[in-house]
């Protein structure tokens, strides 16, 4: 090789190095970004999932568990967002519970990032934004945008077919990394299975009465704007949905968890613990396959011209017009649904009541937006901050 080639090679190598740094920095930032959570006055302690499944200690899925305990004894409810990290309303609704809810009776345990690994990656080739910012009076708070599945950096390779444990049911290969297909999990399984096993242990040891899994769904999917319930909670969930539809100003239905569809929280938590398991679905047009741009604006506004057109042609399972489905509406549906669940549960089970207050509800969020309820971490003492 002649010496005159070296200057050119050096220049090209530096350019490739710059490309490497820029792209690598973006991936690094998404994986290592710290999201501050201001602990509301209702939070009495913060535990880790590894307290219930020790093999998770030091792993990316050793998520925070926020405990809100009332002065009077009662029952216990577990709410978890971030099962699917590409469904931000679930995480944000849980976030508002941690920053605002106060308990008078019983205990409320909340996880914001049930599959934390999934929140550190976005869907390959889908051009998802790596993060999104909720505007607030103090500037704005940025959150990681995630994926439906555990990051392949943490669990790989996938099998040809995923055989669910313990049912033996065959599921899609990629769902071996889907937190909502790996319940009830096992302590010697994959990272995702150990995570769900940790949640099952939490539910069993803390004598959880009701477990609530917060989700969002595309409008082309029939299970939307609904509460999916284990058969143990059919009457209870129906009462919650009827009350919400009657009092809160939004429609929400009830669906029963199929007996033979395994791995989902609403099936396995009910089968393998004493808890009633519920799963809430809110509409998220960003997830629809026929959407146009996949940017943070569409994610938060819930407005997409192609999904609107699909709605006008009657191709969706939920109404869709120019108003879209803004994030405040989706988060408000979840917070009101959680609040109503606590209320109905407490009325039906006074000995195991969980009485909470100060939860922002649907009308509050629609009126004020999500950012209004996010607390400024810069003005919070460090002892009252946690990081996701």
Least CB distance to other proteins at residue 153 (A): 6
Indicate the helix (H) or strand (E) that contains 281.
strand 276-283
Indicate the helix (H) or strand (E) that contains 341.
helix 327-348
Nearer to other proteins, 42 or 185 (CB): 185
Least CB distance to other proteins at residue 145 (A): 15
Least CB distance to other proteins at residue 6 (A): 10
Alpha helices in 273-326 (DSSP H): 296-301, 305-312
CA dist 233 → 212, 261, 352 (Å): 12, 17, 15
Nearer to other proteins, 1 or 351 (CB): 1
DSSP assignment string, 141-185: EEEE---SS--TTTS-PPPSSEE-TTT--EE-GGGGG-GGGSTT-
Least CB distance to other proteins at residue 198 (A): 16
Nearer to other proteins, 138 or 156 (CB): 156
In 194-275, DSSP assigns E strands to: 210-217, 226-229, 253-256
- Give the residues lining the site for other proteins (CB under 8 A): 1, 5, 8-9, 12-13, 15-16, 19-20, 23-24, 27-28, 31, 153, 155-157, 159, 188-190
Q: What's the gap between Cα 143 and its chain centre? A: 12
Query: Any residues with CB less than 8 A from the CB of 105 and at least 6 apart, and which?
Result: 70, 71, 72, 73, 74, 346, 353, 354, 355
Least CB distance to other proteins at residue 289 (A): 24
Nearer to other proteins, 13 or 378 (CB): 13
Assign 3-class secondary structure to 57-97. Answer: CCCCCCCEEEEEECCEEEEEEEEECCCCCCCHHHHHHHHHH
Least CB distance to other proteins at residue 124 (A): 9
The answer to whether 216 and 331 have CB atoms below 8 angstroms apart is no
The answer to whether 92 and 327 have CB atoms below 8 angstroms apart is yes
Least CB distance to other proteins at residue 381 (A): 34
Nearer to other proteins, 27 or 272 (CB): 27
Q: How far apart are CA 203 and CA 77, in angstroms?
A: 9
Least CB distance to other proteins at residue 129 (A): 16
Nearer to other proteins, 5 or 351 (CB): 5
Question: First and final CA of the chain: distance in angstroms?
Answer: 52
Q: How far apart are CA 129 and CA 294, in angstroms?
A: 7
Nearer to other proteins, 193 or 213 (CB): 193
């Amino acid at each position: 090789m002649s010496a005159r080639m070296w200057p050119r090679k050096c220049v090209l190598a530096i350019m490739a190095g710059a490309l490497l740094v820029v792209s690598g920095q973006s991936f690094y930032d998404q994986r290592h970004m710290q999201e501050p959570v201001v602990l509301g006055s209702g939070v009495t302690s913060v535990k880790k999932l590894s307290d219930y499944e020790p093999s998770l200690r030091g792993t990316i899925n050793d998520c925070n568990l926020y405990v809100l305990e009332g002065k009077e004894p009662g029952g216990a409810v577990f709410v978890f967002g971030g099962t699917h990290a590409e469904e931000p309303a679930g995480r944000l609704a849980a976030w508002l519970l941690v920053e605002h809810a106060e308990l008078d009776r019983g205990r409320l345990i909340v996880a914001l990032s049930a599959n934390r690994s999934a929140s550190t990656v976005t869907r390959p080739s889908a051009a998802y934004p790596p993060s999104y910012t909720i505007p607030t009076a103090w500037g704005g708070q940025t959150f990681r945008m995630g994926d439906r599945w555990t990051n392949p950096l943490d669990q790989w390779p996938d099998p040809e077919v995923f055989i669910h444990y313990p049912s033996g049911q065959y599921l899609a290969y990629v769902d071996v990394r889907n937190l909502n297909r790996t319940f009830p999990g096992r302590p010697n399984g994959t990272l995702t299975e150990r995570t769900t096993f940790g949640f099952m242990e939490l539910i069993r040891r803390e004598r959880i009465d009701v477990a609530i899994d917060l989700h969002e769904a595309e409008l082309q999917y029939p299970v939307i704007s609904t509460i999916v319930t284990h058969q143990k909670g059919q009457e209870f969930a129906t009462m919650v949905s009827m009350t919400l539809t009657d009092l809160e100003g939004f429609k929400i239905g009830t669906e029963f968890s199929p007996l033979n569809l395994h791995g989902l929280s609403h099936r396995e938590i009910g089968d393998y613990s004493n808890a009633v398991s519920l799963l809430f679905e809110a509409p998220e047009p960003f997830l629809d396959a026929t959407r146009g741009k996949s940017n943070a604006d569409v994610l938060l506004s819930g407005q997409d011209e192609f999904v609107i057109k699909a709605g006008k042609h009657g191709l969706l399972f939920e109404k869709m017009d120019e108003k879209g489905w803004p994030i405040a509406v989706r988060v408000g549906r979840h917070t009101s649904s959680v609040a109503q669940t606590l209320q109905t549960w407490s009325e039906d089970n006074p000995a195991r009541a969980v009485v909470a207050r100060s939860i922002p509800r649907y009308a509050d969020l629609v009126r004020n937006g999500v950012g209004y309820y996010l607390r400024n971490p810069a003005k919070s003492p460090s002892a009252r901050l946690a990081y996701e």
